Structure 1
Amino acid sequence: MGHDRIDPEGIADPVDDLYSQVVVSSGEKTIHVAGTTARDSDGLVVGETYAEQIEQTLTNVEASLAAAGADPADVVRQTIYALDCDAFVEEAYPHVVDFYGDDALPASALIGADSLADPDYLLELEVTAVLEE
């Protein structure tokens, strides 16, 4: 099983090649990871910058995926909520690309938010993964 990542002709290329326009997957198991933030195992928010918070958030996402038998390469879609989209792209998106690797970027949406569940959150990330059982 694999995921085919497609950037169709006639549609603008993904901005700075930070995501895949289309991901086609076939599999028997779909994993939905809830909105994940930069809280550590003690419930404390880690970091005051986008770079610091995305590192903890990705660590948490990876743990959630592993608990379901998946890894970052199985992620086909992500939705990112950020208080400042420009700052997120500049400071945090390189960490996201490193997390997935250039050849396994999921389809993605980046949504600007006026606020998140905790005033210390700068971002929140939810993902969907598909794999065979």
Structure 2
Amino acid sequence: MPIERINPDGMYDPPNDVLSQVVTATGDRQIHVAGTISEDEDGEIVGETIEEQTRKTLENVETSLEAAGATPEDVVRLTIYTVDAETFVADGDPHLRSFFGEETLPAATLIGVDHLARPEFLVELEVTAVVDE
């Protein structure tokens, strides 16, 4: 299943980029992972900082992807919700680059919000992946 990641000439290419400007995918099945946070299997929040919560949230995303037969490299779209976008860029972005890999970054949007579902939630991630059957 081909996934093509494109950063077209003429588009801003920010330093330390954690996204691809355009992603095209041809696959048999789409996988939509609901908003994921840094809860453990007992529903307890893991981490008190954006960095800690990002690490656990990415672990949870990977668990969801694996359950559906996908990997981080299959992700074509990422939406990041955070209560502190500036801190996320500093502390969360490095984990995204490590998780997705420099060559397989998804199209991504970072959205700063006033709050998430509970006050202790600092980061929430939604992903879409495409795989062949």
Identify the TM-score tier after normalising by the shorter chain: over 0.9
With the length of structure 1 as denominator, give the TM-score of the two structures.
0.97
Q: Which runs of 5+ in 1 are unaligned?
A: none
Residue of structure 1 in register with 2:123 after alignment = 123
Residue of structure 2 in register with 1:20 after alignment = 20
Name the amino acid aligned to 2:111: I
Residue of structure 1 in register with 2:39 after alignment = 39
1:13-35: per-residue Cα shift (whole Å, max 9, x none)? 14522110000100000000000
Residue of structure 2 in register with 1:78 after alignment = 78
Q: How many positions carry a matched residue from both structures? A: 133
1:80-130: per-residue Cα shift (whole Å, max 9, x none)? 001010100101110111001100000000000001001100010000000
With the length of structure 2 as denominator, give the TM-score of the two structures.
0.97
Residue of structure 1 in register with 2:114 after alignment = 114
* RMSD (Å), alpha carbons: 0.8
Call closer, same or farther: CA 1:114–1:19 in 2, change over 3 Å.
Answer: same
Q: Distance in 2 between matches of 1:41 and 1:20?
A: 32
Q: Distance in 2 between matches of 1:17 and 1:79?
A: 15
Displacement over 4 Å in runs of 4+? none
Name the amino acid aligned to 1:39: E
Q: Distance in 2 between matches of 1:35 and 1:54?
A: 13
